[in-house]
Amino acid sequence: MDLGSILQIVFTGLIMGSIYALVAVGLNLIYGTMRLLNIAHGEIIMIGAYVAYWLFTAYGVSPFFSLILSSFVTIVIGLIICKIIFLPMIRSGKSEESIQSNALLLFFAISIILTNVVILIWTADIRGYSYLTGVVQILKVPVMLNRLNAFLVALVICVIAYFFLQKTMLGKAIRALIQERTAAKLVGINSDRLYLVSFMMAFGIAGLTGALLSMIYELSPFMGFPYTITAFVVIILGGLGNVLGSLIAGFIFGFVETVGISVTSPGLQSIISYGVFIGVILYRPKGIFGKGL
């Protein structure tokens, strides 16, 4: 294999990895803080993608600007859903198991509703727009601008998320809540407010991810579910509730997938990706990074 091909694989791995990291981080934030599995995560990404698509095709709004607008829309959705459904549920004082299983059903319902709302508004047609389709050469490897852009934006967001969680007071409080909920409450952390913050953050990142993906892939109301699955795999690899772990696991997953199929065959993609996944579950049931980081 020549150097050009190796670089190409490395770039592709980085691009896919950054997207997977971004997709997973939102899911893990909600799971980490609230212990709720948001299986409507992919649908929130889908909403973000549609907002960007619609703004671009109808009003010529630059998809870059839509990164903000899409996440604004999904933050509002997150705010509403959290305030009227999940906060009252958590406050109701029911057992954790019953809240978790109810939340799973509720998120499932939300995903169905969102998909069908999008079908009503935009129909089930496949849609897409052409943006930043120029090709640049990096170290003599051609890369399409929209993918390069997705990589850079995803990287920036991941870095911001990292520093937010590590350095800011709010981020530290969220991490405290993830690690030990009862103790966090005891030392005066306002858990309700943090639930809301992490919910909105997760939804905002999902919306932004959607806008980013809409520049590369085509859209359909059913595009979300595969991302939910990928996000699950990544957060289990990185450790449930371990936000930083899932960022790293996203890159690992992207690399495994890309390198795996280029040294073997694309037909083996699922076997390789899920083989690694099963291996990790068998030998490190708490994920590569467990609850640490």
Partner 1 sequence: MMKKFLLLVIGVFLIIFCLNGGALAKDNIRIGFSMALTGPFAPAAKGQMDAYLLWEELVNKNGGILVKEFGRRLPVKLVYYDDKSEAETAVKVYEKLITDDKVDLLFAPNSTTIHFAVFPIAEKYKAPIVGNTAASVKLRDLKSKYFWFVTATMADRQMRALVDLLISLKVKTVAVVNIQDIFPRENLEFLIPYLKGGGFEIVLQKDYPRGIRDMVTVLSEAKGKNPDAFIALSTPPDTFLTAAQIQEVGFNPKFFFQLIGAAAVAFGPRLGAATEGISTFGHWSPKAPWPGAKAFLDNYVAKFKVIPDYLNSTLAYVSCQIIEQAVERAGTLNWEKLSEVIAKEEFPTINGPIRFTGSENLQTPAMVLQWQKGEIEIIWPSEVATAKPLYPKPPWPKK
Chain residues binding partner 1 by CB under 8 A are 5, 8-9, 12, 15-16, 19, 115-116, 119, 123-130, 133-135, 142-144, 147, 216-218, 220-222, 226, 257-258, 261-262, 265-267, 269-270
- Which residues lie below 8 Å from residue 231, measured CB to CB, with a gap of 6+? 20, 23, 24, 26, 27, 28, 41, 42
Q: Helix or strand or coil: residue 188?
A: coil
Looking at the Cβ atoms of 188 and 267, the one nearer to partner 1 is: 267
Helices (H) and strands (E) in the chain, counts: 12, 2
Minimum distance from residue 6 beta carbon to partner 1 (Å): 11
Tokens of 133: 């389709």
Looking at the Cβ atoms of 88 and 142, the one nearer to partner 1 is: 142
Interaxial angle between packed helices 41-59 and 224-238, expressed in degrees from 0 to 180 and rounded to the nearest 10:
130
Looking at the Cβ atoms of 102 and 262, the one nearer to partner 1 is: 262
Looking at the Cβ atoms of 68 and 120, the one nearer to partner 1 is: 120
Looking at the Cβ atoms of 176 and 218, the one nearer to partner 1 is: 218
The gap between the terminal CA atoms of the chain, to the nearest Å, is 36
Minimum distance from residue 166 beta carbon to partner 1 (Å): 30
Q: Buried b vs exposed e over 245-257: b needs ≥16 C-beta within 10 Å?
A: bbbbbbbbbbbbb
Minimum distance from residue 245 beta carbon to partner 1 (Å): 22
Minimum distance from residue 125 beta carbon to partner 1 (Å): 5
Minimum distance from residue 270 beta carbon to partner 1 (Å): 5
Minimum distance from residue 148 beta carbon to partner 1 (Å): 10
Tokens of 237: 């690899």
Looking at the Cβ atoms of 198 and 258, the one nearer to partner 1 is: 258
76 — phi, psi (to 5°)? -60, -45
Where would I find the beta strands (DSSP E) of the chain?
A: 135-138, 141-144
CA 226 to CA 237: how far, in whole Å?
Answer: 17
